[in-house]
Structure 1
Amino acid sequence: MQSPTKFPSTFPVPLPLASLLCAAFALPAVAQSDMPTVVVTASSLEQTLKDAPASISVLTRADIEKRPVVELAELLGTVEGVSLSRSGNAVPGVQLRGLGQAYTLFLVDGKRVNATSVSFRGNDYDTGWVPTSEIERIEIVRGPMSSLYGSDAIGGVVNIITRKVGKTWRGSMKLDTVLPSDDAQGDTRTASFSASGPLIADVLGLRVSAGYDKREGDGKVNAPVNGVTQPGFPLIANRQFGGALSWMPAAGQDVKLGYDTSRRDHGGFILERHASALSHQGRYDFGRSEVTLNADETRNLVGTVTGQVNPNKANNNSLDGKLVLPWDAARQTITVGGELRREKLFDPANVTGLPGTPGYRQNPTVKLSQYAAFVEDEVALRDGLKLTIGDRYDHHENFGAHHSPRAYLVYHATPGITLKSGWARAFRAPTLLQGSQNWGSVSCGSATVGCYIVGSAALKPETSTSKELGAQFDYGKVGGGFTFFRNDLKDMIDITSRTADRKLAPSYSNFIGFLPDGRPIFAYQNIAKVRTKGVETSLRAEFSPQVSVRANYTYTDAKNVSGAIGLPMIYRPKNNANVTLDLRPADSWTASATARYIGEQYLNVPASGLNLVKKGAYTVADVNAAYRWNKNLTVSAGVLNLGDKGSQRDTSADFNEEGRRVFLSLLAKF
Structure 2
Amino acid sequence: MRHRPGILPPMVAGSLLLGLVSGVQAGDASNTPAIHAIEPMVVTATRSAIRREEAPSGYTEITREDVERKPATSLADLLQDVPGLAVDNEQDGRSQIRIRGFEPSQTLILINGRRINNTDELIGHSDFRLTQIPTSAIERIEVVRGPLSTLYGSDALGGVVNVIVQPPDDEWTGRVQARVGATDPRPGGEERNLSLYTAGPLGENTGALLSLDVLDRNGSLNPDDEGVDEIEGREAITGYGSVFHRPAPGHEIEVFFNGVDDRRRARRGEDDTRRLDIFRYSTGARYDLEAGPWDARADVYRSRSTTEALHLDREEEHTDDIIDLSATRYWGQGQQLTVGADFRRESFWREREGEREFDDTVNHRGALLQNRSDLLDERLIVTFGARADDHTQYSGEISPSAGVVYSLTDTTRLKADYGRGFSAPDLRRSSGTYDFRFTTIPLRIIGNQDLEPERSDSFSLGLEHDDGRREYGFTVFRNNIKDLIDTRCIENCDGGSMDDPEVREYQNVDRARTQGVELNAGYRFDQGVLLRANYTYLHAEDRGTGERLEGRPRQRFNLLTEAVAWRGATAHVRTEYIGSQRRGDDRTRDYTLLHLGLNQELAQGLSVRAGIDNVTDQRLADIDDAYTNEIRGRFYHTSVNWEF
Range into which the TM-score falls when normalised by the shorter chain = 0.7 to 0.9
Partner letter of residue 491 of structure 1?
D
Match for 1:253 among 251, 254, 279? Answer: 251
The Cα shift of 1:347 comes to 2.0
Report if the CA contact (8 A) 1:43-1:53 is conserved. Answer: no
- Give 2:570's aligned residue: 590
Provide the C-alpha distance between the structure 1 equivalents of 2:354 and 2:123, rounded to a whole number of angstroms.
13
Match for 1:528 among 495, 510, 526? Answer: 510
The alpha-carbon distance between structure 1 residues 347 and 460, as it changes in their structure 2 partners (threshold 3 A), is same
| Superposed counterparts of 1:100-111, under 5 Å | 100-111=103-114
Identity of aligned residues (%): 28
- Give 2:394's aligned residue: 399
Provide the C-alpha distance between the structure 1 equivalents of 2:197 and 2:445, rounded to a whole number of angstroms.
44
- Give 1:55's aligned residue: 58
Partner letter of residue 213 of structure 2?
G
The alpha-carbon distance between structure 1 residues 568 and 351, as it changes in their structure 2 partners (threshold 3 A), is farther
Match for 1:120 among 119, 123, 130? Answer: 123
The one-character-per-residue Cα deviations of 1:448-487 (angstroms, maximum 9, x if unpaired) are 3352323221211111100001100112201111100000
The alpha-carbon distance between structure 1 residues 120 and 351, as it changes in their structure 2 partners (threshold 3 A), is farther
Partner letter of residue 219 of structure 1?
L
The Cα shift of 1:199 comes to 1.1
Residues 588-597 or 88-97, more deviating: 88-97
The structure carrying a bigger strand percent of its residues is 2
| Superposed counterparts of 1:525-604, under 5 Å | 525-563=507-545, 566-586=546-566, 588-604=568-584
Residues 481-490 or 365-374, more deviating: 365-374
The Cα shift of 1:580 comes to 0.2
TM-score of the aligned structures, taking structure 1 as reference length: 0.84
Provide the C-alpha distance between the structure 1 equivalents of 2:351 and 2:228, rounded to a whole number of angstroms.
33
CA RMSD across the alignment: 2.4
Q: Please state whether the residue corresponding to 2:221 is helix, strand or coil.
A: coil
- Give 2:216's aligned residue: 214
The Cα shift of 1:646 comes to 3.2
Q: Please state whether the residue corresponding to 1:348 is helix, strand or coil.
A: strand
Q: Please state whether the residue corresponding to 2:132 is helix, strand or coil.
A: coil
The alpha-carbon distance between structure 1 residues 193 and 89, as it changes in their structure 2 partners (threshold 3 A), is same
The alpha-carbon distance between structure 1 residues 660 and 334, as it changes in their structure 2 partners (threshold 3 A), is same
Provide the C-alpha distance between the structure 2 equivalents of 1:313 and 1:570, rounded to a whole number of angstroms.
29
- Give 2:432's aligned residue: 437
Provide the C-alpha distance between the structure 1 equivalents of 2:621 and 2:278, rounded to a whole number of angstroms.
29
The alpha-carbon distance between structure 1 residues 279 and 613, as it changes in their structure 2 partners (threshold 3 A), is same
The alpha-carbon distance between structure 1 residues 237 and 569, as it changes in their structure 2 partners (threshold 3 A), is farther
The Cα shift of 1:38 comes to 9.3
The alpha-carbon distance between structure 1 residues 351 and 153, as it changes in their structure 2 partners (threshold 3 A), is farther
The one-character-per-residue Cα deviations of 1:148-179 (angstroms, maximum 9, x if unpaired) are 01011110001111111222111111111111
Q: Please state whether the residue corresponding to 1:106 is helix, strand or coil.
A: strand
- Give 2:206's aligned residue: 204
Report if the CA contact (8 A) 1:582-1:593 is conserved. Answer: yes
Report if the CA contact (8 A) 1:117-1:431 is conserved. Answer: no
The alpha-carbon distance between structure 1 residues 88 and 301, as it changes in their structure 2 partners (threshold 3 A), is closer
TM-score of the aligned structures, taking structure 2 as reference length: 0.87
Report if the CA contact (8 A) 2:574-2:596 is conserved. Answer: yes
Provide the C-alpha distance between the structure 2 equivalents of 1:351 and 1:154, rounded to a whole number of angstroms.
36
Q: Does 1:465 align with 2:451?
A: no
- Give 1:367's aligned residue: 361
- Give 1:235's aligned residue: 233
Residues 386-395 or 452-461, more deviating: 452-461
Provide the C-alpha distance between the structure 1 equivalents of 2:46 and 2:224, rounded to a whole number of angstroms.
46
- Give 1:91's aligned residue: 94
Unaligned runs of 5+ in 1: 1-36, 353-360, 499-503, 605-611
Provide the C-alpha distance between the structure 2 equivalents of 1:522 and 1:112, rounded to a whole number of angstroms.
32
The alpha-carbon distance between structure 1 residues 331 and 118, as it changes in their structure 2 partners (threshold 3 A), is closer
Match for 2:341 among 338, 342, 353? Answer: 338
Unaligned runs of 5+ in 2: 1-39, 266-274
Q: Does 1:277 align with 2:284?
A: yes
The Cα shift of 1:286 comes to 1.8
Report if the CA contact (8 A) 2:177-2:196 is conserved. Answer: yes
Partner letter of residue 637 of structure 1?
A
The one-character-per-residue Cα deviations of 1:318-356 (angstroms, maximum 9, x if unpaired) are 1011111001x342100001101101123234998xxxx
- Give 2:144's aligned residue: 141
- Give 2:593's aligned residue: 620
Partner letter of residue 243 of structure 1?
G
Q: Does 1:376 align with 2:387?
A: no
The one-character-per-residue Cα deviations of 1:34-70 (angstroms, maximum 9, x if unpaired) are xxx9943442221222111341111111111122112
Residues 517-526 or 248-257, more deviating: 517-526
- Give 1:3's aligned residue: none
Provide the C-alpha distance between the structure 2 equivalents of 1:156 and 1:625, rounded to a whole number of angstroms.
33
